[in-house]
């Protein structure tokens, strides 16, 4: 059995690799070749919750695995992460557990990559400017994914706490100085720049829209990444109404969990016929994406275990080939 830390994972899989693996994962899902049960939520009264996300895929290279995520709000008082995660992979042909991975970084990587996959398939080819809303734990890989698929000159960064936005810009500049020639600029209000950018990515736990959809210009691509419960909402209804194409990571997942889609549906502000399908269908070309540079496109993701399983499987195979990680006897 192999243990792979966040640093081990970074050594064997690039963001570009992860984006391609996410495309593969969602293609399998949309083709009915993935078995992804609803996650099991177990509460420990007075302490927190454990979330268990199993899944498998079929085909020439079957995969099998389980991600364990815990939500323990008081952990930081003990010097521990509030949302620790661990990924367990199994050899799908024997059932033997073959690896344990840092699930926190895996989640950041595959979530950034799924947005990167959508941006790659839906944003204008010549996109040069972007806006990132939110600077939490997911933000750096979200930024890296956008930079990986589009040659961006300028990315505006917004956080409700301006100091956090400034610090994030410095961190991003240091992290990507040798990889990308992009400039990062913090803003006090996202609506100052919504009309100026080609791509908007929102990754927050907000319960109301994070920008003004009326300001969105033709040609803009929007990624809604952070809202993953029915009471959360990032994408404004006005943007949904203006969109020429609305694509989900998984229809079942988004319609069950994404407040920015569920809430306007319940109020009859939008209807299910406004939705165009899943990203996996776009990958396998059973549906079409952007038709012109003036289209407004929207991608909504709530996450799915098939992303964890496929990306983790690739990581484990690469680590084995390169003899990276710690062997547990």
Residue 281 confidence (pLDDT): 97
Tokens at 19, concatenated:
């984006």
What domains sit in the chain, N to C, each tagged with a CATH number? Answer: 2-106+306-327 (3.30.1780.10), 122-302 (3.40.50.720)
265-284: pLDDT as tens digits = 999 999 999 999 999 999 99
Contact 309, 61 (CB under 8 A): no
Q: If you average pLDDT over residues 227-233, what whole number do you get?
A: 91
303-329 average pLDDT score: 95
Please name the residues in contact with 78: beta carbons below 8 A apart, sequence gap of 6 or more.
none
- For 35, other C-beta atoms within 10 Å of its C-beta total 14
Tens of pLDDT, residues 77-130:
999 988 899 999 999 999 999 999 999 999 999 999 999 999 999 999 999 999
Is a pLDDT exceeding 90 seen at residue 137?
no
The DSSP symbol for 100 reads E
Query: Does position 39 have pLDDT exceeding 90, yes or no?
Result: no
> CA–CA separation, 278 vs 213, rounded Å?
22
CA 172/CA 307 separation, integer angstroms: 25
Q: Which of 81, 56, 57 is nearest to 69 (CA)?
A: 81
């Amino acid at each position: 059995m192999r243990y792979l830390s966040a640093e081990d994972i970074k050594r064997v899989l690039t963001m570009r690799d992860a984006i391609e693996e996410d495309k593969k994962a969602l293609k399998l899902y949309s083709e009915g070749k993935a078995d992804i049960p609803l996650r099991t939520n177990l509460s420990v009264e007075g302490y927190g919750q454990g979330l268990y996300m199993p899944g498998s895929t079929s085909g020439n290279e079957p995969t099998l695995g389980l991600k364990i995520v815990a939500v323990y709000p008081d952990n930081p008082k003990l010097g521990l992460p509030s949302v620790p995660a661990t990924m367990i992979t199994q050899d799908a042909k024997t059932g033997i557990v073959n690896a344990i991975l840092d699930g926190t970084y895996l989640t950041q990587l595959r979530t950034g990559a799924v947005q990167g996959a959508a941006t790659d398939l839906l944003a204008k080819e010549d996109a040069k400017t972007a806006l990132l809303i939110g600077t939490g734990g997911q933000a750096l890989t979200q930024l890296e994914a956008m930079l990986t698929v589009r040659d961006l000159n300028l990315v505006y960064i917004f956080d409700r706490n301006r100091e956090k936005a400034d610090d994030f810009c410095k961190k991003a500049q240091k992290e990507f100085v040798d990889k990308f020639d992009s400039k990062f600029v913090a803003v006090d209000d996202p609506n100052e720049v919504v009309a100026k950018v080609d791509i908007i990515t929102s990754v927050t736990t907000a319960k109301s829209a994070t920008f003004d959809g009326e300001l969105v210009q033709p040609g803009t691509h929007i990624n809604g990444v952070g809202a993953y419960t029915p009471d959360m909402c990032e994408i404004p209804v006005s943007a949904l109404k203006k969109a020429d194409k609305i694509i989900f990571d998984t229809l079942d997942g988004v319609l069950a969990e994404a407040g920015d889609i569920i809430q306007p549906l319940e109020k009859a502000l939008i209807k299910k016929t406004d939705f165009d399908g899943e990203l996996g269908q776009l990958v396998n070309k059973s549906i079409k994406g952007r038709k012109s540079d003036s289209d407004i496109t929207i991608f909504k993701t709530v996450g799915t275990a098939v992303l964890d399983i496929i990306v983790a499987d690739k990581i484990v195979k690469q680590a084995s080939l390169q003899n990276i990680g710690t062997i547990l006897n």
